[in-house]
Structure 1
Amino acid sequence: MEDINSIKITMAQMMENFTKDMAHFQGELNKQAVVETSPPTICSLASQFHAFKTFTVQALQVLQCQVETIGKVADQIEMDSRRNILLLHGLPEENTEDTAAVITKAIVEKLKLSEFTSSDISRCHRMGRLSAPDRPRPILFKLHSAQVRSKIWSSKSSLKSTGVTLSEFLTKARHEAFMAAREKFGVAKCWTWEGSVYVLGHDGKRHRVVSCKEVHGIALARCTVSPGQATAPKAAVAPQLRPKSSRRIAAAGAAVAKK
């Protein structure tokens, strides 16, 4: 995904530089192209320049769309590899702890899933570096079964008022989209489900987004909705709370999920 992002940045820079150069060249050409006195070669050059400019802009736009498409596919593949991974935040941390035992105890006692055992866990570990003793690192754990994962996720409302939260291991792009949505629409109107970000827009409709671009699109759509057209918002699923430590989690990358 980092390679895809770098390509996107390069494409944007190419388009910007091309636009500047073409604007400068067009300005110089206009200075010489006086209708009454310009020789035929100048007029022909202006026509050829316009055709070349149009072709180049269209080619860059096609390439940019292709890069964005590849980026979306890569992001979806990365998210699929994280499907059975969840994050637990707020569990006290000890130097000689058994992480699997800590997770099992939390799920059995706090989520009331008595049938859950440590054998359901494929692997688990704390994420990031310990910054302060009173700020325990979140625990990443991967489950063998998608069914067990669904049971745990469906029971996360039991964690309310416990100081412990459960979240999905989103890709960097989706994490950024989630944070942008929370900032624009509020925490209560944003949540995640099966790796996708959902937003209750100003139009009262529920939107599924996976990128910041899509979040901005929903925000801009507010301008086209008149007060009389706005509908009563639907009841939103309980939002997924993401602590500050989640900013470090999103940067972990796909390498963690592929181990």
Structure 2
Amino acid sequence: MKACYLPLPHYLPQKHLSIPGLSFVSIKTYYRLGIAVEGKTCPVVIRFTRSDALRNVWRSKSKLKRSFAVLSEFLTKARQVLFQDTLRHIGMTNVWTLGSNIYIKTPNDSRVMVHTPEDLQILNKHHQKCVFELRFKCN
């Protein structure tokens, strides 16, 4: 076992993200967590110098679909639990986080922010049939 290390270009695959203005100047620090194990990758923590650079990277994460890279943000324990419950109820393709907020895409294509478990229950009751159709693709 050895410490995880890769040069920065492997952390943020610019060929997938194609973010204008993203450079080494935008990054304050970066490091990998854990120890390298055969066949597994280590997560990377990147801290940005400017919030607009972070926003640009975060908004570009949909370009990483079907690639090897995944972007995720650290949430507080309460938000992490709420996010996992939301994923369980709504499904992976219609739930995301942005700026530590949890969003849901409803069946009528509107975006709703979930703040509390009660918000999720209200949405679940209001859109129960629609949520089932969204999640399981039945009509």
Tell me if TM exceeds 0.5: yes
Aligned with residue 58 of structure 2, among 153, 163, 167: 153
Aligned with residue 25 of structure 2, among 119, 122, 133: 119
Distance 2:43 2:4 in 1: 16
Q: Is the 8 A contact 1:125 1:141 kept in 2?
A: yes
Aligned with residue 184 of structure 1, among 86, 89, 94: 89
Matched letter for residue 113 of structure 2: R
Structure number having the greater strand percentage: 2
CA drift of 1:219 comes to 2.6
* 2:134 alignment counterpart: none
Matched letter for residue 178 of structure 1: F
Cα distance change, pair 99–172 in 1 and its aligned pair in 2 (3 A):
farther
SS across alignment from 2:66: coil
Q: Is the 8 A contact 1:126 1:139 kept in 2?
A: yes
Equivalent residues, number: 130
Q: RMSD over aligned Cα, in angstroms?
A: 3.3
Structure number having the greater helix percentage: 1
Distance 2:100 2:123 in 1: 24
CA drift of 1:189 comes to 2.0
* 1:137 alignment counterpart: 42
TM-score (norm 2): 0.72
Matched letter for residue 183 of structure 1: R
Higher Rg: 1
Q: Is the 8 A contact 1:121 1:144 kept in 2?
A: yes
Q: Is the 8 A contact 1:111 1:156 kept in 2?
A: yes
Matched letter for residue 23 of structure 2: T
For structure 1, which runs of at least 5 residues remain unmatched after alignment? 1-93, 233-259
CA drift of 1:98 comes to 4.5
CA drift of 1:165 comes to 1.2
Distance 2:118 2:27 in 1: 37
Q: Is the 8 A contact 1:159 1:165 kept in 2?
A: yes
Q: Is the 8 A contact 2:73 2:100 kept in 1?
A: yes
* 1:215 alignment counterpart: 117
Distance 2:7 2:68 in 1: 18
Distance 2:99 2:109 in 1: 22
TM-score (norm 1): 0.42
* 1:72 alignment counterpart: none
